Structure 1
Amino acid sequence: MHNVAVLALDGAVPFDLSTPVDVFGWARLPDGRGAYRVRVCAPAEEVDCGVFTLRAHWGLEALAEADTIIVPGSTDPPENIPVAVLDALRRAAADGTRIASICVGAFVLAESGLLDGLRATTHWAAAAALSAAYPAVEVDPDVLYVDNGKVLTSAGAAAGLDLCLHMIRRDHGSAVAADTARTSVMPLERDGGQAQFIVHEPPSPDGATLEPLLRWLEENARRELTVEDIASHAGLSPRTLNRRFREQTGTTPVQWLYRSRVRKAQYLLETTDHTVERIAAQAGFGSPTAFRERFRAVLGTSPQAYRRAFRSDARTG
Structure 2
Amino acid sequence: MPAIGFLVFDGFQVMGMAALSVFEMANHVLDRPAYEVHVLSEHGGPVKSSLGFNIDTAPFGTEFRDTTITIGSLIVKPSSDGLLAYLREAATASRRVAGICTGAFVLAEAGLLDGRRATTHWGHARSLQRQYPRVQVEEDRIFSVDGNVWTSAGMSAGVDMALALVENDFGQEVAKAVARKLVVYLRRAGGQSQFSTLLELEPKSDRVRKALIYAKENLKNELSVEELAEAASLSPRQFSRVFRQETGQSPAKAVEHLRLEAARVMMEEGRHPMDVIARETGFADRERMRRAFLRTYGQPPQVIRRSAENERAHAVH
Same fold (TM over 0.5): yes
- Residue 194 of structure 1 corresponds to 194
Q: Which amino acid aligns with 1:294?
A: P
Match of 2:301 in 1: 294
1:197-251: CA deviation from partner (whole Å, max 9, x where unpaired): 9x99x95532683454444454343x6x5xxx655643538x94995679xxxx9
Shift of 1:59: 2.2
Secondary structure, aligned partner of 1:135:
coil
Equivalents in 2 of 1:121, 1:44: separation in Å? 28
Structure 1, 162-171 or 138-147: larger mean CA deviation: 138-147
Aligned CA-pair RMSD = 4.2
Asked if the contact 1:122–1:153 (Cα under 8 Å) also holds between the matched residues in 2, the reply is yes
Tell me what 2:294 maps to: none
Aligned to 1:59: 60
Asked if structure 2 preserves the Cα contact closer than 8 Å seen for 1:10 and 1:47, the reply is no
Are the counterparts in 2 of residues 142 and 193 from structure 1 also a CA contact under 8 Å? yes
Q: 1:8–1:267: structure 2 CA closer, same or farther, 3 Å change rule?
A: closer
Q: Which one-letter code corresponds to 2:258 in the other structure? A: W
For 2:304, give the aligned amino acid: A
Contact 1:29/1:176 (CA < 8 Å) preserved in 2? no
- Measure, in 2, the Cα distance between the counterparts of 1:54 and 1:121: 27
1: CA distance between counterparts of 2:32 and 2:249? 42
Tell me the equivalent position of 2:135.
137
Structure 2: gaps of 5 or more residues? 229-238, 291-299
Query: Match for residue 240 of structure 2?
Result: 236
Aligned sequence identity (%):
27
Which position in structure 1 is the counterpart of 2:148? 150
Aligned twin of 2:259: 257
Partner SS for 1:89: helix
C-alpha contact (below 8 Å) 2:2/2:35 kept by paired residues: yes
> Alpha-carbon deviations, 1:62-86, whole Å to 9, x = none?
4x2x12111111356542x222321
In the alignment of these two chains, the number of paired residues is 287
Match of 2:168 in 1: 170
Where 1:55 maps in the other structure, the secondary structure is: strand
Return closer, same or farther for 1:22/1:141 CA change in 2, 3 Å cut-off: same
The structural deviation recorded for 1:300 is 2.4
Aligned partners of 1:281 and 1:299: how far apart in 2?
A: 17
The alpha-carbon deviation at position 260 of structure 1 amounts to 2.7
Q: Match for residue 124 of structure 2?
A: 126
- Structure 2-normalised TM-score? 0.72
1:15 aligns with 2:15: yes
Which stretches of structure 1, 4 residues or more, deviate above 6 A after TM superposition?
Answer: 265-268
Q: Which runs of 5+ in 1 are unaligned?
A: 271-275, 311-317
Q: Name the CA distance, whole Å, in 1 between partners of 2:175 and 2:27.
A: 9
Aligned 1:266-281 pairs, distance under 5 A: 269=271
**Alpha-carbon distance between aligned partners in 2 of 1:31 and 1:301, rounded to the nearest angstrom:** 27
TM-score with structure 1 length normalisation?
A: 0.72
Alignment partner of 2:155: what SS?
A: coil
1:97 partnered with 2:95: yes
Which amino acid is 1:143 matched to? R
Q: Does the 8 A contact of 2:270 with 2:305 survive in 1?
A: no
1:33 alignment partner AA? R
Partner of 1:182: 180
CA-to-partner distance for each residue in 1:270-306, whole Å, 9 max, x for gaps?
A: 9xxxxx5985687466369x89x73652462569x98
What's the offset of the Cα at 1:264? Answer: 5.7
- Distance (whole Å) between structure 2 residues aligned to residue 9 and residue 129 of structure 1: 21
Query: Matches of residues 42-121 of structure 1 in structure 2 within 5 Å?
Result: 42-50=41-49, 51-62=52-63, 64=64, 66-75=65-74, 77-79=76-78, 81-95=79-93, 97-121=95-119
- Given that residues 179 and 186 in structure 2 are in contact (C-alpha distance below 8 angstroms), is that contact kept between their aligned partners in structure 1? yes
Partner SS state of residue 300, structure 1? helix
